[in-house]
């Protein structure tokens, strides 16, 4: 384990503990017949024994580094042992007599744009000391950049510095949400324009993406609340904590908005599926009723009876077909007058779906109502005509009055 201590002007310390990666044993391909003839069994045994010895030496050195680090920080030795195998979120708040409030645990975060690239961030936090353990070197490099080092130097306490680091941890989070928003917009456009039946799979895929980001966001929000519980007013008035508070509020608002949009898409897809199912069932029912006379006639005249009406007549088939057509037409007209056919037997147009029906499709009563609304009553027209005639005659009367002496 590599240990690096950083001390800042205000007096707080940051101890960066980087777990050393174990070098795996070299795997070589199986030797061929020519190579096996050249190599002896003794050389192979010596080589494997040397590799095992180097591996054991590296492990012993790593264990020695860990033991030395535990001696430097005996109060968090148990926490270091747990961090070696922990890959789940954990946040614990304690109030100790020696160091005051302490927050420690593990925070799982996504370090790149790939959803599988989730790394642990182990931390031990007091008012004047921050200890972090990293499995991946990418996050320490980002936290020790020039811009971030300047921000950390302006922090007065270790908790304030931790929340300044949270801004760096949340950078992939913002990028991921931006990509999620773009994919969600494409899904909404596809649902509006194409309205395919297979869109429900894509909707659930977006839902799983949102659950992934929500699962990463909840521990950060929990850490935010735990810090308020532990350090209270000393931390809440700092600039870094206020900034991270506004950022978390903004992210939480986005997550709620995206969840509402996905729920709306699911409800719309469910409603569309129900409408399609109802239309299909209504259509099948109507066609079943329309072909019912032909079915009954075919069943009766296909029976094995000796005496059937019009069986031996030359015009019997034509008469039976005519009766079937007439009864089918009567049933169709009856269904149409009842309004049970609706738009099932006619193609739907966008104007009818949105309620903007063209004037040519309006009924006579509706057109008469529109004409009556657009034109004033007859009595009103007559009053207007009389008023205009009176106004036009007034100048003539005035002229005639002026000519009189």
User: In the prediction, which pLDDT does 405 show?
Assistant: 37
Cα separation of 155 and 8, whole Å? 8
How far the first Cα of the chain sits from its last, in Å, is 125
Give the pLDDT means over successive 10-residue stretches in the chain (405 positions).
86 86 46 51 58 57 70 85 87 88 92 88 92 90 89 91 91 88 87 74 89 92 92 86 92 93 88 80 84 85 77 82 89 82 54 45 47 48 48 43 41
3-state class of 112 per DSSP? Answer: coil
Nearest of 55, 35, 54 to residue 43 by alpha carbon: 35
Cα separation of 168 and 151, whole Å? 11
Distance of CA 279 to the CA centre of its chain: 30
The token duo for 289 is: 């009723």
3-state class of 4 per DSSP? Answer: strand
Q: CB atoms < 10 A from the CB of 269, how many?
A: 17
Q: CB atoms < 10 A from the CB of 310, how many?
A: 13
The token duo for 297 is: 């006639």
Task: Give strand pairing partners of 14.
Answer: 6, 130
DSSP strand E in 37-143: where? Answer: 90-96, 100-110, 118-125, 129-134
User: In the prediction, which pLDDT does 360 show?
Assistant: 47
User: In the prediction, which pLDDT does 346 show?
Assistant: 52
23-31 long-range contacts, Cβ below 8 Å, gap at least 24? 23/55, 23/58, 25/51, 25/52, 25/55, 26/51
- Ramachandran assignment for 64, one of left (phi > 0), alpha (psi -120 to 50 degrees), beta (any other): alpha
Cβ(294)–Cβ(324) below 8 Å: yes
pTM equals 0.63
């Amino acid at each position: 384990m590599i240990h690096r201590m950083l001390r800042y002007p205000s007096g707080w310390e940051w101890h960066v503990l980087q777990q050393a990666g174990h070098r795996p044993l070299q795997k070589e391909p199986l030797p061929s017949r020519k190579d096996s003839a050249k190599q002896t069994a003794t050389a192979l045994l010596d080589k494997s024994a040397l590799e095992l010895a180097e591996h054991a030496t590296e492990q012993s050195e790593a264990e020695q580094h860990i033991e030395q680090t535990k001696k430097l920080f005996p109060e968090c030795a148990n926490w270091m042992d747990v961090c070696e195998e922990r890959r789940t979120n954990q946040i614990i708040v304690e109030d100790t007599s020696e160091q005051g409030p302490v927050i420690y645990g593990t925070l799982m975060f996504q370090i790149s744009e790939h959803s599988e690239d989730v790394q642990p961030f182990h931390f031990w936090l007091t008012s004047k000391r921050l200890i972090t353990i990293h499995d991946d070197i990418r996050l320490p490099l980002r936290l020790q950049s020039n811009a971030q080092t300047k921000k950390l130097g302006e922090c007065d306490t270790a908790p304030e510095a931790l929340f300044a680091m949270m801004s760096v941890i949340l950078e992939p989070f913002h990028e991921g949400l931006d990509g999620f928003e773009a994919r969600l917009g494409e899904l909404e456009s596809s649902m509006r324009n194409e309205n395919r039946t297979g869109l429900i799979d894509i909707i659930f895929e977006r839902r799983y993406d949102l659950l992934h980001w929500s699962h990463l966001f909840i521990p950060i929000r929990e850490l935010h609340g735990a810090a308020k519980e532990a350090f209270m007013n000393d931390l809440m008035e700092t600039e870094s904590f206020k900034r991270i508070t506004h950022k978390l509020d903004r992210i939480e608002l986005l997550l709620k908005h995206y969840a509402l949009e996905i729920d709306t898409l699911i409800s719309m897809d469910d409603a569309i599926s129900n409408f399609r199912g109802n239309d299909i069932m209504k259509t099948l029912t109507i066609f079943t009723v329309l072909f019912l006379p032909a079915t009954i006639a075919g069943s009766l005249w296909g029976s094995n009876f000796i005496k059937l009406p019009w069986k031996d007549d030359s015009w019997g088939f034509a008469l039976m077909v005519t009766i079937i057509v007439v009864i089918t037409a009567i049933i169709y007209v009856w269904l149409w007058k009842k309004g049970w056919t609706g738009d099932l037997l006619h193609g739907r147009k966008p104007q009818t779906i949105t309620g903007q029906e063209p004037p040519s499709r309006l009924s006579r009563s509706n057109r008469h109502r529109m004409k009556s609304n657009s034109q004033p009553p007859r009595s009103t027209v007559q009053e207007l005509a009389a008023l205009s005639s009176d106004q036009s005659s007034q100048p003539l009367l005035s002229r005639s009055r002026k000519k009189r002496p």
